[in-house]
Amino acid sequence: MNRFEYKQFNEVYYEDVCENGLKVIVWHKPLFKSTSCLFGTPFGAYDLQQITDDNEVFKYYSGIAHFLEHKLFESQEGDILSEFSELGANVNAFTSYQETVYYFSTSDEDVETPLNLLLDFVQNLSITEESVEKEKGIITQELLMYLQNPDSRLYFESFKSMYHNNPLKEDIGGSPESVSKITKDDLEECYNLNYHPGNMMIIVVTPKDPNVIMDIIKENQSKKTFPKYKNVIRQIMKEPLEVVTNEKIIEMDVSETKCSFSIKLPVLDTSDEERVKRDWAINLSLQSYFSSLNSDYQKWIDEKKITSYFSFDSDIGKDHSYIIFTDNNDPDTLKEFVLTQFNNFKKTYMSEKDLKMLKNKTLGYLLRLYNNLENISVSYFRDAMNGVSTFQSLNIVQNLDVDYCNKVIKDLDISNNTLTIIKSNSN
Amino acid sequence: MEIVKINENVHLHIYNTDKFKDVSIFIEFLDNSNKHDQTLRNLLALMLEDSSSLYNSKQAVSNLFNKLYGGGFSISFDIKGCARLMEVRSSFVNGKYVDDNKLLEKQFKVINEFLLRPLWIDKEYPKELFEELKEKLRQDISVLNDRPSSYSNKKADLLYGEYIGIKADMNISDLESIQVSDVIGLYNEIINKSIINIIVIGDVDSNDIKKFTKLYLNFENRSSTKEMVYKSNRSEFIEKEEKKKIGQTILQLRYKTNKNVLDSDFPSMIIGNGILGTLPTSLLFQEVREKRSLCYSISSIVYGYDGIMKISTGIDYSNLKTVKELISLQIDKIKTGDYDDSLLETTKKMYINVYRSNSDSAKSIMWDEYRNFIINDGMSIEKMIDEFKKVSKASIMESFKNLELVECYVLRQAEENNE
């Protein structure tokens, strides 16, 4: 068991790997009453086409990762949610584009039983054709719930406007149509490929003795047999640089017009560390210019170029790269504002002083993550999926310099962009 | 928790723990006004957060908080039972992690500056800024109204009335007539008359906290009542259906429970509600979602300070009658004890664990301390856990016997989405 310590923050975790390849992290929080466990696979809504080492290609309907998440909560004995409740533990799961994770928390003395239950239910898919059909109704209601929320709809439509082939163009849960086509065999096939311990990770954040937790997990895994690990790689079809459409209008029953101006960036083939560094550089640079840190911010509001709802989100991932500006304002005003100010930004750059302040802010943000057990496990898992350790991520931010940030911004090509509008359907 | 009386109806609570990386300071202002002025109160919150006498621009405010490691100062207005609460919340990283032993005092200074030295203290409040913040609040209200779940919840609460109706009553038409003087009047009323509790949670020296409180948050004596709990007395049944161009129908039900947190069998009502609709094992979740796939989520929530229970779910309109009948059937099961003993034991265990884990969150620690201080019902976490252990089917039946459906509100999907 390897021990890692971040002395400045008084945080310690341990890392080990089971014989079957399962990576185990035990993060020790001796002062807390609760334990939080997360069991995750890097299989998410992104994975609509995969290829194995022996060149076998698998294709899935969109929404399959999310569907699988729903169905894993079923067992021959009953349903898993109830079994956790009987132990006094809260269990849940989520699917994102990049991953599917299952997690529980408990303040009960007994951590061993729910921990074994988590390992057992995720490592045993037990479904029937009837139960798969029944789940489609529940998932359809869930999809409708998100679709009628203007905020989530705006994001979803922005991705659809940007991407031709990238799975970001599909909702994480798929569509009622794609969900209706998913079969028991599809679910079993993609489960067998993507839920092997060799590509999964379990993270336990706990006040309990890390050695005891590690032993529980190793013992659990030693009793199970798995087929030989088959390395599987996500296949993303080549994505053109251009967006799908330059403008899209969606009508909904809303009183407030919402819009996004999305910039599609090329995906660069770099190391994980360089990509994470670039991601932070873009994020902090945008914060320095497109926020109230900028002395012009008040003027922009006064001149109605932006509203107080103006915000942005950037993500420089392995398979996608974008910046999305959103506002509840006139869409053309938003577009003109972003294009004009981005060009100004490339001429002015971020100052040393602003970068130092933003580093302070980020340090505070990252420190506060350690107040919450679930935040620790989720951020560790996400960092690991991103190819960096959680403490490495902090060091990357602390070592950023303005010259690097300014060069990244200067080199950004913002010409591939699209405007998405959600407006009232009352007229 | 150390409690220090600063002045009449002004108390300081210090909870020392090095569990958290930050120091959280909460200041709770309580009054019992029954005015429909939530819009005015929320505008006050925006004005206090936006600027202060010294930090009089958005840029100055951003620079300040970024330098201070993303420390925060926020104000929110809530209603718990009949208590109108203004909550000031500030969380700063503990100085020991960033080598700054003055950070705690800076935190108190920031609260003093933004709370007690607002922009209007020594000059006229800028008209443009006032209009800008009114516009922001107008958008906040519109955005909430555009989300079918929050819109339906708001409409159902407004229809219900009482204090949940006051809480829901944020509307754009009120904004038009609000003047700066109205906001300042409300501010003075709250700062000078509300009863005040300051709760500090973190790895701190209590002598420092007392010293800084005296220096920066030295509120004067005040004589006020401090009510938080009432029992809803709505009598006649209300039913309303409204159409919206959305893809899913939302059903909102409101019940009068005739029980509140001060009733000795209230822990039974909490467990009974857990059996009914807060957990994955709950009857509503199992019967409506799991067995029949009629919804994605369904829940029941008890408002123990008001004596109200809410049930809400998103469904297809064609299933409305079935879902209403199913909900009614599950409530009957609670009233007659018609469920497995194991469900009772599971629910008790879940709630005991949830209460035990409250000490892992600064916000929960604060609320447990504050509600106990105000209500003084002796329901510490430990006591509540003991009470949960005693709950039986019979005590749940007793606590639910006077539960009464008094409102059914339906936000109906438009016909074209129903085809």
Strand partners, B199: B13, B26
* Per-residue tokens: A208: 């309990």
Helix, coil or strand: residue A125:
coil
Q: What single-letter DSSP state applies at residue A388?
A: S
Q: Are residues B365 and B327 in the same domain?
A: yes
Q: Are residues B160 and B209 in the same domain?
A: yes
* Per-residue tokens: B142: 């519109």
Strand partners, A327: A259
Residues A214, A133 contacting (CB under 8 angstroms): no
Q: How far apart are CA A169 and CA A236, in angstroms?
A: 12
The reported pLDDT for the residue numbered A240 is 95
- Give the one of A142, A328, A371 whose C-beta lies nearest to B139's C-beta: A328
The reported pLDDT for the residue numbered A386 is 87
- Give the one of B67, B148, B314 whose C-beta lies nearest to A141's C-beta: B314
Q: How far apart are CA A136 and CA B93, in angstroms?
A: 46
Distance from B355 to chain A by nearest Cα, in Å?
A: 9
Decide which of B168, B186, B216 is a domain's last residue: B216
Distance from A111 to chain B by nearest Cα, in Å?
A: 12
Task: Give one DSSP letter per residue of B4-66, joined into a string.
Answer: EEEETTEEEEEEE-SSSSEEEEEEEEEE----S-HHHHHHHHHHHHH--SSS-SHHHHHHHHH
Task: Kindly report the CATH number assigned to the domain that includes residue B356.
Answer: 3.30.830.10
Q: Are residues B87 and B193 in the same domain?
A: yes
Task: Please give the average per-residue pLDDT across A263-275, as a whole number.
Answer: 93
Q: How far apart are CA B31 and CA B227, in angstroms?
A: 8
State the CB neighbour count (10 A cutoff) for residue A423.
18
Residue A343, φ and ψ in degrees, nearest 5? -65, -40
The reported pLDDT for the residue numbered B280 is 84
Task: Please give the average per-residue pLDDT across B377-382, as a whole number.
Answer: 85
Q: How many residues does chain B have?
A: 419
- Give the one of B66, B314, B414 whose C-beta lies nearest to A361's C-beta: B66
Please list every residue in chain B whose beta carbon sits closer than 8 Å to the beta carbon of residue A89: 353
Q: Are residues B116 and B36 in the same domain?
A: yes
The reported pLDDT for the residue numbered B416 is 52
Query: B353–A88: do the CB atoms touch at under 8 Å?
Result: yes
Decide which of B163, B185, B216 is a domain's last residue: B216
- Give the one of B70, B295, B345 whose C-beta lies nearest to A141's C-beta: B295
Please list every residue in chain A whose beta carbon sits closer than 8 Å to the beta carbon of residue B146: 150, 252-256
Please list every residue in chain B whose beta carbon sits closer than 8 Å to the beta carbon of residue A302: 128, 132
* Per-residue tokens: A60: 């899935």
Query: B360–A34: do the CB atoms touch at under 8 Å?
Result: yes
Please list every residue in chain B whose beta carbon sits closer than 8 Å to the beta carbon of residue A148: 148, 246-248
Strand partners, A261: A325, A419
Q: How far apart are CA B115 and CA A92, in angstroms?
A: 39
Query: A134–B58: do the CB atoms touch at under 8 Å?
Result: no
Return the residue of A nearest to B95 by Cα.
Answer: A364
Of the options 3.30.830.10, 2.60.40.10, 3.40.718.10, 3.40.640.10, the CATH number for the domain spanning A2-234: 3.30.830.10
* C-alpha dist (Å) from residue B161 to A162, A410, B4: 46, 56, 38
* C-alpha dist (Å) from residue A139 to A185, A360, A418, B245, B391: 18, 42, 30, 21, 36
Please list every residue in chain A whose beta carbon sits closer than 8 Å to the beta carbon of residue B22: 364, 367-368, 371
Q: How far apart are CA A204 and CA A103, in angstroms?
A: 9
Please list every residue in chain A whose beta carbon sits closer than 8 Å to the beta carbon of residue B356: 33-34, 107-108
Rounded to 5°, the CA angle B366-B369-B371 comes to 100
The reported pLDDT for the residue numbered A209 is 97
Which of B384, B135, B327, B404 shows the shortest CA–CA distance to A301?
B135
Distance from B31 to chain A by nearest Cα, in Å?
A: 30
* SS3 of chain B: helix, strand, coil, percent, to 5: 50, 20, 30
Residues A203-214: tens digit of each pLDDT: 999 999 999 999
Residue A19, φ and ψ in degrees, nearest 5? -60, -30
Q: Are residues B34 and B170 in the same domain?
A: yes
Task: Give one DSSP letter per residue of A245-307, joined into a string.
Answer: -SEEEEEES-SS-EEEEEEE-PPP---HHHHHHHHHHHHHHHHHHSSTTSTTHHHHHHTTSS-
Q: Are residues B272 and B204 in the same domain?
A: no
Q: How far apart are CA A86 and CA B306, in angstroms?
A: 30
Q: How far apart are CA A177 and CA A61, in angstroms?
A: 9
Residues B12-29: tens digit of each pLDDT: 999 999 999 999 999 999
Q: For domain A247-424, give the fold.
A: Cytochrome Bc1 Complex; Chain A, domain 1 (3.30.830)
Residue A375, φ and ψ in degrees, nearest 5? -60, -40
Query: B281–A33: do the CB atoms touch at under 8 Å?
Result: no
Q: Are residues B328 and B196 in the same domain?
A: no
Please list every residue in chain A whose beta carbon sits closer than 8 Å to the beta carbon of residue B19: 31-32, 371
Q: How many domains does chain B have?
A: 2
Task: Please give the average per-residue pLDDT across B292-312, as a whole number.
Answer: 95
Residues B382, B221 contacting (CB under 8 angstroms): no
Q: Are residues B11 and B133 in the same domain?
A: yes
Decide which of B216, B248, B273 is a domain's last residue: B216
pLDDT band at B6 (very low <50, low <70, confident <90, very high): very high
- Give the one of B244, B247, B350 whose C-beta lies nearest to A88's C-beta: B350
Give the residue numbers of A annotated as catalytic, written as ranges: 69
Q: Does the pLDDT of residue B418 top 90, yes or no?
A: no
Query: B21–A252: do the CB atoms touch at under 8 Å?
Result: no
Q: Are residues B208 and B331 in the same domain?
A: no
Residue A350, φ and ψ in degrees, nearest 5? -85, 145
Query: B21–A370: do the CB atoms touch at under 8 Å?
Result: yes
- Show Cβ contacts of residue A119 under 8 Å, excluding neighbours closer than 6 positions: A39, A202, A217, A220, A221
| Strands ordered across the beta sheet of A49-52 | A57-59, A49-52, A232-234
Query: A292–B349: do the CB atoms touch at under 8 Å?
Result: no
Distance from A10 to chain B by nearest Cα, in Å?
A: 9
Task: Please give the average per-residue pLDDT across A47-53, as a whole number.
Answer: 93
* Per-residue tokens: B200: 């500090």
User: Which ranges in chain A are annotated with CATH 3.30.830.10?
Assistant: 2-234, 247-424
Q: Are residues B269 and B393 in the same domain?
A: yes
Query: A307–B98: do the CB atoms touch at under 8 Å?
Result: no
In a domain, B227, yes or no: no
Distance from B313 to chain A by nearest Cα, in Å?
A: 10
The reported pLDDT for the residue numbered B417 is 43
Q: ipTM of this predicted complex?
A: 0.88
The rounded percent of chain B whose pLDDT value lies above 90 is: 89
Q: Are residues B270 and B124 in the same domain?
A: no
Task: Give one DSSP letter per residue of B294-348, joined into a string.
Answer: --S-EEEEEETTTTEEEEEEEE-GGGHHHHHHHHHHHHHHHHHT-S-HHHHHHHH
- Give the A:B interface size as CB pairs under 8 Å: 192
pLDDT band at B419 (very low <50, low <70, confident <90, very high): very low
Q: Which secondary structure element, helix H or strand E, spans residue A91, and what is its range?
A: strand A90-95
Pairing verdict, β A49-52 and A90-95: unpaired
The reported pLDDT for the residue numbered B415 is 66
Q: Does the pLDDT of residue A426 top 80, yes or no?
A: no
In a domain, B185, yes or no: yes
Q: How far apart are CA B367 and CA B382, in angstroms?
A: 15
Distance from B329 to chain A by nearest Cα, in Å?
A: 21
Q: How far apart are CA A243 and CA A98, in angstroms?
A: 22
Q: How far apart are CA A151 and CA A161, in angstroms?
A: 16
Q: Are residues B20 and B162 in the same domain?
A: yes
- Domain that includes residue B368, residue range: 238-418
In a domain, B169, yes or no: yes
Query: B21–A371: do the CB atoms touch at under 8 Å?
Result: yes
Query: B71–A364: do the CB atoms touch at under 8 Å?
Result: yes
